Amino acid sequence: MIISLKKTILLLVLVAAFAFAGELDVWWFRGTDDWVAQTGATARCRKFGTGDAISVDTTMPINTIGIENYAEVGQWITYGLTGGDVMTHYVRRPGTFAGKAFVLNWASNGIVSVDFDGFADLTKTDAADITMEYAFDDGTWDDPSDISDWTTASGLNVLTPIEDDALTMHFWQKITVGNMGKPGEYEDAGGATITLTLDEQATWIDAAGNYGTLP
């Protein structure tokens, strides 16, 4: 009796996958070899490892592990207002006066919408209003004779929001005080505001600009 022995190869591969999701340590380089740990809602960057944690026991000669890397970047903005946020005219005699006012500038890595609201004429109880007009450019105007188009305060409020990722706006103001304008303090009672909205902000950043709910 002839017994034929056939060669048998047993390949044993044990693969175990576990769901994994955890926050990983991140440091921010502040400069001059200064690394600052980033944690919590106000961190500049947070990092998470997600997906499957893999444990493999095998004799296979070649093993490949796929790694996926992503970065989700939120929108940031830097902005400034120079010239002051309180504009006061001291009028000794009646007339029409125009002059430079505040300068608004911003820069962002995405589109920003700039909207004006609450601008109004200057008022005083039992006195005629002092009309306010506005104009703005990129800083090329030298004096009021360069300005051909003034916008009323209420007209400024209904302008289509200005959309740009970086811009500098030089504002001018013009007031007219009549001959019978009563003495005293007049004010813009509209509660004027300029709102800058980050149009491309990530959904995981909350209204305070910090980390909200991460995916």
pLDDT block averages, 10 residues each, the chain of length 215: 35 41 90 93 93 89 93 97 96 96 98 97 94 96 95 96 98 95 90 97 95 85
Residue 52 has a pLDDT of 80
Q: Determine the structural domain holding residue 184 and report its residue range.
A: 77-198
The pTM for the full model equals 0.82
User: Residue 18 has what pLDDT?
Assistant: 43
Give the number of domains in the chain. Answer: 2
Q: Do both 17 and 46 map to the same domain?
A: yes
Domain membership flag for residue 203? no
Q: What is the pLDDT of residue 12?
A: 35
- The answer to whether position 15 is within a domain reads yes
Residue 122's nearest CA partner among 179, 158, 174 is 174
User: Does residue 161 belong to any structural domain of this protein?
Assistant: yes
The pLDDT score that the predictor gives to residue 5 is 36
* Domain-located, residue 215: no
Q: Examine residue 209 and state whether it is found in any structural domain, yes or no.
A: no
Q: Residues 191, 151: one domain?
A: yes
Q: Are 79 and 168 in contact (CB under 8 A)?
A: no
Residue 177 belongs to some domain of the structure: yes
Contact 112/152 with Cβ under 8 angstroms?
no
